[in-house]
Structure formats: C-alpha cells, structure tokens
Amino acid sequence: MKILTPELMNWLAALAFLLGLMAIILEIIVFPGFGIAGIIGIILFGWGILLVSVDVVHVTEALVLALIATIIILIVGLRLMSRYKLWYKLTLQDRQQKEDGYVAPLQELSSFAGKEGIALTPLRPAGTAEVAGKRLDVVTGGEYIEAGARVMVIRVEGTRVVVKQIS
C-alpha cells in the first residue's frame, strides 16, 4: 500500500511552498530580522522543491549553480556600479555644509542656569517648563514633578536642561 501518491506529493509540495512563503512574510513584517520564522520558511521552501523534484541530485546541482551565478552577478554588478559611478547617479550626493549656511537652530541655553520657572506639563522625568518667559524641554534628576509646580534650572548640559522642584 502506497501512502504518498503523486497527487498527494504535489499537494504536500504546494502546502510546503505556501507555508514557507507565509513564514517568510511573517518574518519580514512581524519579526524583522533573521529568526526562527525565516529559517522555517527557508526549510519549507527547500522541502517543497525536493518534493516536486524527480531527482534530488539534479535539484541540488541546479540550486548550487543558481547560488554561484547569483554571487558572480552580484560581484560583477558591484564592480560595474563602482567603475561607471552608477551608485552616485542613484543616490543624493548633496550635503548640507556649515560653509553653505546650513546650521542647526541651536539656542543658547546656558543663560537659564539658576533661573526659576513653572512646570507646564508633568515632568516624569521629562516634560516642558516655562523658564524666564521661554518654553523649554526639561528633565529632572529622575523624580516626578507635577504640572504647575515651581522649578529651578540646576544645570544645562548642551541642549539638556535639568530642573528640580522648589518649595
């Protein structure tokens, strides 16, 4: 009695391909990276190919030749792209230089050190406070400060303004 008929083998191969495709899509969309779903998808694809094949040796030869051809095409393509500067034609090469007038809007915050203000939002530990009439993004030392509480700027580290609650 033969359990695996040719019709059943074709359905099993189609099921392996379908499940492999679903596992790879799951890996790409839900779990980005190369994890268990991707490995299972690759194994199911390979199993589907082996189920459809007549001779395992010929299938293995074809897969190895396809892998070698892919590597050769990749290497030749990279060399051609570098020789003819195709990569530079496909990508944006302009850079925003300081000499051309591109500067980040960086306000001087060190003048706020030691000044008092009011927390506009709850500071847990980050939030917004009004200090010396200016609205600033501030952080605390880790403690929670309610909105409306009086605060004082204890230090400024670049763009980081650290405050503490005052009574």
Residues 73 and 116 in one domain: no
pLDDT tens by residue, 61-118:
877 888 899 899 999 988 888 888 877 777 777 777 777 776 665 668 888 999 999 9
Quote the CA–CA distance of 42 and 47 in Å, as a whole number: 9
- Let me know if residue 66 belongs to a domain: yes
Residues 11 and 64 in one domain: yes
Residues 117 and 65 in one domain: no
Comparing C-alpha atoms, which of 132, 136, 138 is closest to residue 163? Answer: 138
Instruction: Decide: helix, strand or coil at residue 120.
Output: coil
Q: Please give the tally of structural domains in the chain.
A: 2
Residue at 30: amino acid letter? V
- Whole-model pTM? 0.40
**122 in Cβ contact with 146 (< 8 Å):** yes
- Let me know if residue 101 belongs to a domain: no
- Domain hosting residue 57, numbered range: 6-82
Which residues, 6 or more positions from 141, have their beta carbon under 8 angstroms from its beta carbon? Answer: 125, 154, 162, 164
Residues 117 and 72 in one domain: no
Q: What is the pLDDT of residue 83?
A: 83
Planar angle of CA 115, 118, 120, nearest 5 degrees: 135
